[in-house]
Amino acid sequence: MELLLLVLAGAILAPTLYVAGLHDVPNSIAIPVRTRALTPRSAVRVAAAFNALGVLLAFPLGLYLYSWFEFPDMEPVLALSVVVAALTVILGWNVFTYFRGMPTSITHGLLAALLGGSLAAAAVGDVSADTIWSLPWLTPLLTLLISPLVAFGLAYVLVFAAVRVARGEDPHDVNRVARGLQSVSVGVTSLGTGLQQGQRFAFVLLIGLGAGGIADPEGWMGPAYVVFAVLIGAGALHGGWRIGHVLAHRLVAIDPLRGMVATTATSGLLFIGSLGLALPLSTSLTAASAIIGAGSNQRFATVNWRQCRRIAVYWIATPVVTGFVAAALTIGLSALL
């Protein structure tokens, strides 16, 4: 039974990785394409390549996260049921939010799904709920809650510095430099996105391999990261334009200078958070907040606050929906097995 569930988890993980690449790539390319820093075709190619590279570089960070955030001991069937439920929920929610054009957080949803599934496993198995609650959930939770505020504030403040530097310069030269920096930010942001994606999905796979009785789960991760990189990169090649249209056209009217500030703030926070601090930052929350922060620091109303409120509703709904549905699926699978 454990082998069957492990195979099922792998079968669900493959499309989940593809959709993750599709879902997150707009965060790095939406504004550069909107301000004509890159053509759509060039942007997706650069983003896909650096996304895949970031996944490969995430290999040691994924193992670190697995050793730091130790999953509670439970029956192998229950643990695999939690993994299958979490991956199923994330896949379904990402597909739904993509077609709605909403830049929701995969990291946020995955953590909530694992927590909801684990609590459900405690309800039907011999696992103590106190053991689950004692895990360090607070660190990633605070990171996910604070990162949008930091991204918004950083982008808002950096606009003052950018405007001061550009004051008196030829507008064409300013726009040319701003577009050039945005082109660079596509690679940096995509690299940070890949680092995040590699860590989060490696963590889930390691849980599944350990519960499935694989003797050396860490030894499987080298080939697994190559598969991760290929699938996520393939998803990124499709551009994710439904979400990209919302970020670039329906959320804020932004010029090249402020677009440069937004993309620079996003890439800096993601790269430092992923590589320097190994924190589970959300690409979607960081990018959208930076765009809103940079766009709102103008002398005219350029932000579509109605669209911002709509996105915020989806951000709040993500952990609630994924957590409760993963709990329900875990209970259903445990009853069947």
Q: Tokens at residue 193, please?
A: 């996105």
Are 79 and 211 in contact, with CB atoms under 8 Å apart?
Answer: yes
Asked if residue 298 belongs to a domain, the reply is yes
Asked if residue 313 belongs to a domain, the reply is yes
pLDDT at 207 over 90: no
Q: How far apart (Å, rounded) are the C-alpha atoms in residues 7 and 2? A: 9
Residue 258's H or E segment, with its range, is helix 256-271
Asked if residue 137 belongs to a domain, the reply is yes
Number of domains in the chain: 1
pLDDT at 128: 73
Asked if residue 84 belongs to a domain, the reply is yes
Q: How many CA atoms lie within 13 A of 236 on its CB side?
A: 35
pLDDT at 273: 67
Asked if residue 301 belongs to a domain, the reply is yes
Task: Tell me the pLDDT tens digit for each residue of 69-84.
Answer: 566 667 778 888 999 9
Task: Tell me the pLDDT tens digit for each residue of 123-165.
Answer: 887 777 777 777 767 777 777 778 889 899 999 999 999 988 8
Q: How far apart (Å, rounded) are the C-alpha atoms in residues 16 and 201? A: 9
Q: How many CA atoms lie within 13 A of 52 on its CB side?
A: 17
Q: How far apart (Å, rounded) are the C-alpha atoms in residues 324 and 85? A: 11
Exposed e or buried b for every residue in 177-200, given b needs 16+ CB within 10 A? bbbebbbbbbbbbbbbbbbbbbbb
pLDDT band with cut points at 50, 70 and 90 for residue 66? very low
Give the DSSP per-residue string, 82-113: HHHHHHHHHHHHHHHHHHHT----HHHHHHHH
Bridge partners of 303, per DSSP, are 252
Are 156 and 296 in contact, with CB atoms under 8 Å apart?
Answer: yes
Higher pLDDT, 289 or 299: 289
**Which residues neighbour 46 within 8 Å (Cβ) at sequence distance 6 or greater?**
38, 183, 186, 187, 190
Q: Tokens at residue 79, please?
A: 């643990």
Asked if residue 336 belongs to a domain, the reply is no
CA dihedral 184→187→189→190, nearest 10 degrees, is 160
Domain that holds residue 89: 2-331
pLDDT at 254 over 70: yes
pLDDT at 253: 81
Asked if residue 149 belongs to a domain, the reply is yes
CA 242 to chain CA mean position, Å: 16
Which of 40-49, 132-141, 167-176, 248-257 is least confident?
A: 132-141
Q: How many CB atoms lie within 10 A of CB 305?
A: 12
Task: Tell me the pLDDT tens digit for each residue of 156-169.
Answer: 999 999 988 888 78
Asked if residue 153 belongs to a domain, the reply is yes
Backbone angles phi, psi at 73, to 5 degrees: -70, 130
